[in-house]
Amino acid sequence: MGDISSSQQKLPSMEFQHDENYHVTVRDAITRKLFDVLLYSNRKEERCAGTVWLLSLTIYCGHNASIQQLLPDIQEAFSHLVGEQNELTQELASQGLSIVYELGDDAMKKSLVNALVGTLTGSGKRKRAVKLVEDSEVFREGAFGESPSGGKLGTYKELCNLANEMGQPDLIYKFMDLANYQASLNSKRGAAFGFSKIAKHAGDALQPYLRALIPRLVRYQYDPDKNVQSGSRLWRSREASCLALADILQGRKFGQIFYLSFVPPFSSMYQNEGATEDCGKAFKKNMDSCIPGHDDIKETVRNAGDRLCRAVASLTGRLCDVSLTPVSEARQAMAIVLPLLLTEGIMSKVENIRKASISMVTKLAKGAGIAIRPYLSDLVCCMLESLSSLEDQGMNYVEYIHDLDGIKLGSPMWETLELCIDAVDSHSLELLVPRLAQLIRSGIGLNT
């Protein structure tokens, strides 16, 4: 955002925090950068970056009066961006449309419904187009084949060169027609992502359009174009898969998870060491599958992912509990689950995944008994580091209040550390003490 830095240099540094004009200048610089440069740039990377910025502003500042005034422009930008070839840009834009719908007044909601219906029925038109330059990507690389000379065909310049080589300059217009058709398919796919959520809020407002919409929505489900199909059905597959797997996992034993790997079972599966390895692989696959569901772009998929995570947590706690599962199987389950939770779950950037992982680790430590001993060095160090890196930022203020110790001792990380103390033995101490010494020397934030 180069305009912002130049604005900062022009204003006296002492007036930054108190001068309202400065904030207006910065706000105007951001919106100019977004709407005049990034969102309608001829580079797809800049359009994607602009979409991330615009979605963040809409989510976190949507109720600000300045953003409210820009809602028509924001709606137009998101409506334009749902036609992008980049799937990330397209999905973020469709999510932005649903947020704009929730923030807007009745007139805005009606306008957005009309725009989405126009996109899905093929009658919508763009008010503003991206300017093409030589290196503007018109088709994805490989989607249009190669030129007679073996060159690539994707950018505007390459298509113009092909038309000239063939002696038919007017061929470029036919290429542009194909590009516009592809963009319309992309727009329908993007509109399908955001349409279901808006439809829940729109209610009766969609009633006049149902006769035209329903046949087209059914058609898009079975469209020959794979991108349109995926926009209509992939999120349903993810949601259904999470719910189905959550039901299948309930009440399973460690050996029975072998059936979930979709490998034909053998009669000697409980005695065969190779079959035990397959059970472990299937169990790890199930653990891996529950993590992405928490961070899905679709709300219904996230809810299904939460249900799957609870089912996996319940299954894992039972399989790792030596009072409910044979010690040998509990150790195998612990060898799969705990490293995954410590390396991917607790260290995830998604808050819900971190919380679920910490809760699961605490439950494992309660019932694992001696099965947890081989992992005490990793577990203790991870919990100590988490006391500083994952605790609430409000601790910085509470740190000087007399009841800080009580708050810290009540955290799940500290509870897990106490459980580890009960399970420690001489062998695990030999591995743990060097790790603790290294952590004390190099750790930052270990005041907790």
CB 61 within 8 A of CB 73: no
Phi-psi region of 41 (alpha: psi -120 to 50; beta: other; left: phi over 0): beta
Contact 404, 350 (CB under 8 A): no
Q: How far apart are CA 72 and CA 70, in angstroms?
A: 6
Per-10-residue mean pLDDT of the chain, 448 residues long, equals: 50 51 81 87 86 91 86 83 78 82 79 69 54 52 51 54 57 51 51 56 65 62 54 66 79 62 34 46 65 67 81 82 82 82 79 80 81 83 74 53 56 78 82 82 56
Nearest alpha-carbon partner for 414 in 397, 391, 431, 395? 391
How confident is the model at residue 368, as a pLDDT? 78
Q: Are 93 and 189 in contact (CB under 8 A)?
A: no
Q: Which two tokens stand for residue 249?
A: 């996992």
CA distances from 183 to 10, 40, 83, 88, 227 (A): 42, 15, 5, 15, 11
Whole-prediction pTM:
0.41
* Domain boundaries along the sequence of the chain: 39-127+188-221, 233-442
Residue 366 has φ and ψ, to the nearest 5°, of: -70, -40
What's the pLDDT at 384? 80
User: Are 365 and 416 spatial neighbours (Cβ–Cβ below 8 Å)?
Assistant: yes
pLDDT at residue 268, rounded to an integer:
35
Q: 356, 313 in Cβ contact below 8 A?
A: yes
The answer for residues whose C-beta is within 8 angstroms of residue 201's C-beta and 6 or more apart is 101, 102, 109
Separate counts of helices (H) and strands (E) for the chain:
20, 0
Query: How many other β-carbons are positioned within 10 Å of the β-carbon of residue 308?
Result: 24
CA distance 122 to 116: 10
